[in-house]
Amino acid sequence: MSAHPTTVTPETTAGTTVPVPTVPGVEGGRALNPNVPDGPPQSAWERRRLAYRLVNPANRRKLKVIVVGTGLAGSGAAAALGELGYQVEAFTYHDAPRRAHSVAAQGGINAARGRKVDNDSIDRFVVDTVKGGDFRGREADAYRLGEESVRVIDHMNAIGAPFAREYGGMLATRSFGGVQVSRTYYTRGQTGQQLQVAGAQALLRQVDAGTVTLRTRHEMLDLIVTDGQVQGVVMRNLLTGQITAHTAHAVVLATGGYGNVFYFSTLAKNSNASAAWRAVQRGALMASPSFIQFHPTALPVSSRWQSKTILMSESLRNDGRIWVPAKAGDERTPDQIPEDERDYYLERRYPTFGNLTPRDVASRNATEQIEAGHGVGPLRNSVYLDFRDAIARVGKQAIAERYGNLFEMYTHATGEDPYTTPMRIAPGAHFTMGGLWSDYDQMTSLPGLFVGGEAGWGYHGANRLGANSLLSAAVDGWFTLPYSVPSYLAGRLGSTPLEADAPAVQEALARTRARVDRLLGVGGTRSATSFHRELGDILYAGCGVHRTAASLTTAIDKIRALRAAFWTDLRVPGTGRRLNQELERAGRVADYLELAELMCLDALDREESCGAHFRGEHQIDGEAARDDERWSFVSAWEVPGDGRFVRHHEPLTFDAVPLQTRSYR
Rounded Cα–Cα distance for residues 34 and 19 (Å): 20
Distance of alpha carbon 426 from its chain centroid, rounded?
A: 19
Rounded (10°) CA dihedral 27, 28, 31, 32: 20
CB 289 within 8 A of CB 598: yes
Rg (CA), the chain: 24
Report the alpha-carbon distance of residue 455 to residue 434 in Å, rounded: 8
- pLDDT recorded at residue 116: 86
- Measured CA to CA, the distance from residue 126 to residue 406 in angstroms comes to 30
Q: What is d(CA 413, CA 423) in angstroms, rounded to the nearest whole number?
A: 11
Q: Which residues contact 562 (CB under 8 A, 6 or more apart)?
A: 531, 534, 535, 538, 593
Residue 359 is a catalytic residue: yes
Q: Which of 124, 278, 317, 359 is catalytic?
A: 359
Give the pLDDT score at 12.
Answer: 37
Say what the pLDDT of residue 492 is.
97
- Which of the residues in the chain have pLDDT under 50? 1-14
Q: Are strands 109-110 and 184-185 parallel, antiparallel or unpaired?
A: antiparallel
State the Cα–Cα distance between residues 373 and 616, nearest whole angstrom.
19
Give the span between the Cα atoms of 283 and 226, in whole angstroms. 12
User: Which domains, and CATH codes, for the chain?
Assistant: 1-18+71-101+216-290+434-459+473-665 (3.50.50.60), 295-430 (3.90.700.10)
What is the model's pTM? 0.96
Q: CA 430, CA 363: separation in Å to the nearest integer?
A: 11
Is residue 65 within 8 A of residue 88, CB to CB? The reply is yes
- Which amino acid is located at 299 in the chain? L
Q: Exposure of 379 by Cβ count < 10 A (0-12 exposed, 13-18 middle, 19+ buried)?
A: middle
Q: Distance (Å, rounded) from C-alpha 162 to C-alpha 423?
A: 28
234 secondary structure, DSSP code: E
CB 178 within 8 A of CB 358: yes
d(CA 513, CA 515): 5
Coil, strand or helix at 607: coil
pLDDT digits (tens, 9 = 90+) for 372-392: 999 999 999 999 999 999 999
64 three-class SS: strand
DSSP assignments along 153-205, one per residue: HHHHHHTT----B-TTSPBPEE--TT-SS--EE-STT-HHHHHHHHHHHHHHH
Return the exposure string of 171-205: e unless at least 16 CB atoms fall within 10 Å of the residue's CB, then b. bbbbbbbbbbbbbbbbbbbbbbbbbbbbbbebbbe
For residue 663, the model assigns a pLDDT of 87
Tens digits of residue pLDDT in 627-640: 999 999 999 999 99
Return contacts of 164-170, CB within 8 angstroms, 24+ apart.
164/188, 170/115
**Among 171, 167, 168, 44, residue whose Cα is nearest residue 110:** 171
